[in-house]
Amino acid sequence: MDLLILAHLKSSFEDWKAVFDGDEAARSQFITGKVLVGKADEDTAMIVAYGVDMEALGAFMGAPEFAERTAAYVSGHSVYSLSEMGPPS
């Protein structure tokens, strides 16, 4: 599944991104495609992830260690599924 994840920041984007980058090896266990990351605004980071194993993502984000590691940086996440649209008819 392809996802858009909004990270609602409590810290600077740069500080959050350092924590995000530290999880790269763990993410490779449940994301098989590209991962795009950017700053949407002062309070929001956007992650687009392709080929996500939803069960494994849930286990990763639901782990107490994830909550502890991100608590100072993120107040929460909004997760949206993505699907490609065909051209308008």
pLDDT score at 29: 94
Residue 71, in any domain of the structure: yes
pLDDT of residue 25: 94
> For residue 86, is it within any domain?
no
Domain assignment of residue 88, yes or no = no
Task: Give the pLDDT confidence score for residue 53 in this predicted structure.
Answer: 97
- The pTM of the full predicted model, rounded to 2 decimals, is 0.90
What's residue 15's pLDDT? 98
**pLDDT, block means (10 residues), the chain with 89 residues:** 98 98 94 98 98 96 94 97 91
Residues of the domain holding 39 = 2-81
For 25, 26, 56, the CA distances from 73, given in Å and listed in that order, are: 20, 18, 22
What's residue 16's pLDDT? 98
The number of distinct structural domains making up the chain is 1
CATH number of 7's domain: 3.30.70.100
Query: What's the pLDDT at 89?
Result: 81
